[in-house]
A and B are shown apart, each in its own frame.
Chain A
Amino acid sequence: MRDVLFMGSILASVTHEMQNVMAIIKESGALADDILKLNGPPRMRHGDKLDNSLVNIQQQVERGRTLMLMLNGFAHAAADYPESGDLARFARQICIPAQRLAHLKECSLVPSLDGPPLVVRGNALTLMESAYAGLAAVLEGCQAGDTLHVSVAPPQAGEQGPVLRIRAGKSLAEPEQRTVAPIMAELGGSCRAGAGFLELRYVTAPAQGEATP
C-alpha cells in the first residue's frame, strides 16, 4: 500500500502542475481572442483561421482539463478513500479512460451515473479497477457501432449492496468474468453475466460508527 500511496502523491503533484500549464495556455489563448474581438471589424486577412485556431485551443484545453481532473482524482483516491467510497463517483471517473477503449472498438459509451451517493465497501483503486474490468469485459464482445450503457442502482430489499450495470445495446455475447470475478470476490461482492450484459454487485459500506463485519 505504501508504494501505491507514493505513486498517488507523485501523480497528484504532476497533475496539479499540468493543470497550471493548461490554465496558462487557456488564459493566453483567451487573451488573444479578447484582443482580436476588441479590434472589431474589419478583421485581418485569414482572421477566420486565427479564430478557428483559438477555438481549437480552448476546446483542447477543456478536453485536457477533463482528463487531468480524472487523473488527479485517481491520484488522490487511494489516500482519500482507503475503505469505502461512492460507487457512482468512481464509475464516472473510470468511464473517462474507458471512453478510449470504446472508441478503439468503434463503440460508444453512455454513462447514466447521476443520483445520490452509493457508498460501498472497498478501497477506491480496487473499486475503480472492478468497474474498468467490467467495462472491458463487455466491450470485448461488442461490435463496431454498439453502444454501452453504464448505470448504478441502490440495493433492493434483501440485496447486499448497490449494483453497477453494464449493458451492450446490440451484442448478445456473454461477457467473460475471469478478470472481474476475482476483483469482485476481493471486494466481498459478486458478478452476474448474461447476453450482452454484466452486473457487478457490491457491499454497502457500514455507516460511520457501525461495526464492520
Chain B
Amino acid sequence: MTQGTGLKILLIDDEGEFASTLAERLNLRGYSTSVALDGESALARIKAEPFDLALLDVMLPGMHGIEVLRRIRECRPELPVILLTGRAGAKDGIEGMKQGAKGYLTKPVDLSELLALFAAVHPGGANA
C-alpha cells in the first residue's frame, strides 16, 4: 500500500460521508487529513493550520469552490489545491486551473490518480 509521509491534507467537501471515507483511506496510507464541509470553515482552517495541500470540491453550498480557490490563493498562495469536479466536460476543472489549481479530478475519484497528483504536487511527500 502506498505510504504518504505525514503530508497534511485538508479535504473540502459538503458530502461528509464521501470526505470522511476518503480521509480514512488517505490516513491508512500515512497522510494526515482533516475535513471541512464548506468554504468558510475551510478558509478559517487554512489560515490557522499549516496544511500542505487542499482537495477542494467545486460544487459547495454557499461559497462556490472557485471562489474558495480564489480566496485560498489570496491568503495562502503557496498552498497547492487540487479540485474535485462532478461535472462532465471539465469546464470547472479548466476554470480552476486558470485560477491557480494544480490539477482536477472528476468524482468518483480514482485513488491512484489522486495519489499520482499528490506526488506531482509534493514530490517528496508521497512514495509508491
Contact = CB atoms under 8 A, between A and B. Distances in A.
A31 B25 contact: yes
B125 interface: no
A125 to B, nearest CB: 15
Interface stretch (B38-46, B60-68, B96-104, B105-113): B105-113
B1 A69 contact: no
Interface of B: 1, 15, 17-18, 21-22, 24-25, 28, 59, 86-89, 91, 106-109, 111
Contact of B88 (A31, A61, A73): A73
Contacts of B21: 24, 27-28, 31
A22 B91 CA distance: 21
Contacts of A20: 15, 18, 86, 107
Contacts of B87: 12, 16, 72, 76
A38 B89 contact: no
A61 B59 CA distance: 21
Given A22-B108, A24-B18, A27-B18, A80 B28 contact: no
Q: Looking at chain A's contact residues, is the secondary structure mostly helix, strand, loop, or mixed?
A: helix
Contact of B108 (A19, A37, A72, A76): A19
Contacts of B25: 27, 30-31, 34
